[in-house]
Structure 1
């Protein structure tokens, strides 16, 4: 029997492809065009996005040994900052903006512990060389800073925190979503550098009410402020900033369920006044409260919608 799927004889005797063959050839041709155009589009998008697409990804192959290979981090208190940096430097401007927020007597900053820590000189500061906190040098710098800060943190008092400030980008203006991805990319990269095991009593699932950020075997609370926040002034600063607050601070200050409940109510009320007409985020809660997660508290949007971590765990691919 003749093969009719490939060709048939035309009126001149020449072999002409059959309709089935033509259809198959056309399908292959169109698939090739699709794949080629997709590749071109991907290349164009990659070129358009440039570094912005890469900076949202956690750094791969970070080595714990790299922490010890660098120089000692420069950790400064507020008086050392004022002596070291003149008022025209970005470091001084960033610190002054942060200090003004915490020391404003007419508009009380909701985190009363941070304000008291600033007044008592219990806050310690470090400055990053660039706004992209996911860059290898920045992740390593913060890792070294936390390791240096932890052993001496208790001597600063129960309102201490490590405040990380970064210069404004000279090449781009970032949206809130950009800062959200930068922050969580940093947290994921920092997790790769942890020299100690994750604490057994802290969940590694970011959606859990028993999760919080940990490093050096110690849990902490984090808060992020950005230049992109407009409505929620509690999270606005003209410079990108995030704060590392050891968990032991809360254990000393909030020693009972009654104190935790009263403090939470007070903080929420202050947030409502500070951010008026925007009310406090419903994700502001005490650690361990049912249906809560600190992953939603660290970075809060300009409106009341959950700002969850982008990964189920910080070790997820």
Structure 2
């Protein structure tokens, strides 16, 4: 039975529901074919999809409201400890013509700004609101969330091309507990994935990639990296409501 306005989807939902847009089903199939390839470097994404641990949602170009409801429902899953390794992938309806990387980058930040504007939960007083602070993190429904963009405009960093649609990944900060950049387990697992990514992309790790809490690092730059090995310059497009 289809639940009305159910925007947070499982793999089974996407495969069986008949009310989902054709473009979304097509892009989901491309995504699935990519991440389940045995050579795909992101082990966590591959195993998460195969085990049914990931969640999915979509938005259309003229209506982004699904993003807010799906992300809110997704974060509510973490009230149950068994969901601690889940990730959410939000599919954005493709443009009629493929855009430049900068156009996708702008839309990525516009979507995060939209989510921030409709979020009715205040950020904690101690949470930095300026993205240039090294401890800044995006928050939604009270939770710190890591977001990362994947688009067809990536030509060199092929691991970031998951089909014709921009696909935004969301990972609550709490799923990284025990895998922090300063913890042995976190260092080892991240380095293993990064080595595989470098081999797949045939490019070195992007210079803006680091771990949360690194005082020489800006977290926002990691959200949407360049298709090269040049550091991102300029100010973060995100603007907190209180500033």
TM > 0.5 fold call:
yes
Do the aligned residues in 2 keep the contact of 1:122 with 1:161 (CA within 8 Å)? yes
Which residue of 1 is the match for residue 226 of structure 2?
Answer: 301
In the TM superposition, residue 247 of structure 1 has moved relative to its aligned partner by 1.0
1:150 pairs, out of 33, 52, 75, with 75
Do the aligned residues in 1 keep the contact of 2:72 with 2:141 (CA within 8 Å)? yes
Do the aligned residues in 2 keep the contact of 1:76 with 1:124 (CA within 8 Å)? yes
Matched residue SS, 1:310: coil
Do the aligned residues in 2 keep the contact of 1:260 with 1:286 (CA within 8 Å)? no
Which residue of 1 is the match for residue 60 of structure 2?
Answer: 129
Q: Confirm or deny that 1:262 pairs with 2:188.
A: yes
Which residue of 1 is the match for residue 156 of structure 2?
Answer: 231
The CA distance in 1 between the partners of 2:146 and 2:167, in whole Å, is 14
Structure 2: 5+ residue runs without aligned partners? none
Task: Tell which structure's C-alpha radius of gyration is larger.
Answer: 1
**TM-score of the pair, normalised by structure 1:** 0.68
**TM-score of the pair, normalised by structure 2:** 0.87
Which residue of 2 is the match for residue 76 of structure 1?
Answer: 9
2:92 pairs, out of 157, 161, 166, with 166
Which residue of 2 is the match for residue 14 of structure 1?
Answer: none
Deviation per residue, 1:158-194 (Å, 9 max, x gap): 3211110122212x33100001111112212221222
Q: Confirm or deny that 1:284 pairs with 2:209.
A: yes
Deviation per residue, 1:279-314 (Å, 9 max, x gap): 110211111113112211110111122346534743
Q: Confirm or deny that 1:116 pairs with 2:26.
A: no
Do the aligned residues in 1 keep the contact of 2:158 with 2:201 (CA within 8 Å)? yes
Which residue of 2 is the match for residue 26 of structure 1?
Answer: none
The one of the two structures with greater contact order (alpha-carbon pairs below 8 A, sep at least 6) is 2
Do the aligned residues in 1 keep the contact of 2:58 with 2:66 (CA within 8 Å)? no
2:112 pairs, out of 187, 193, 200, with 187
Do the aligned residues in 2 keep the contact of 1:235 with 1:300 (CA within 8 Å)? no
In the TM superposition, residue 256 of structure 1 has moved relative to its aligned partner by 6.3
Deviating beyond 6 angstroms after TM superposition, the runs of 4 or more aligned structure 1 residues are none
Do the aligned residues in 2 keep the contact of 1:162 with 1:244 (CA within 8 Å)? yes
Which residue of 1 is the match for residue 142 of structure 2?
Answer: 217
Do the aligned residues in 2 keep the contact of 1:114 with 1:160 (CA within 8 Å)? no
Structure 1 residues 235, 154: CA separation in 2 closer, same or farther (over 3 Å shift)? Answer: farther
Structure 1 residues 268, 255: CA separation in 2 closer, same or farther (over 3 Å shift)? Answer: closer
Structure 1: 5+ residue runs without aligned partners? 1-70
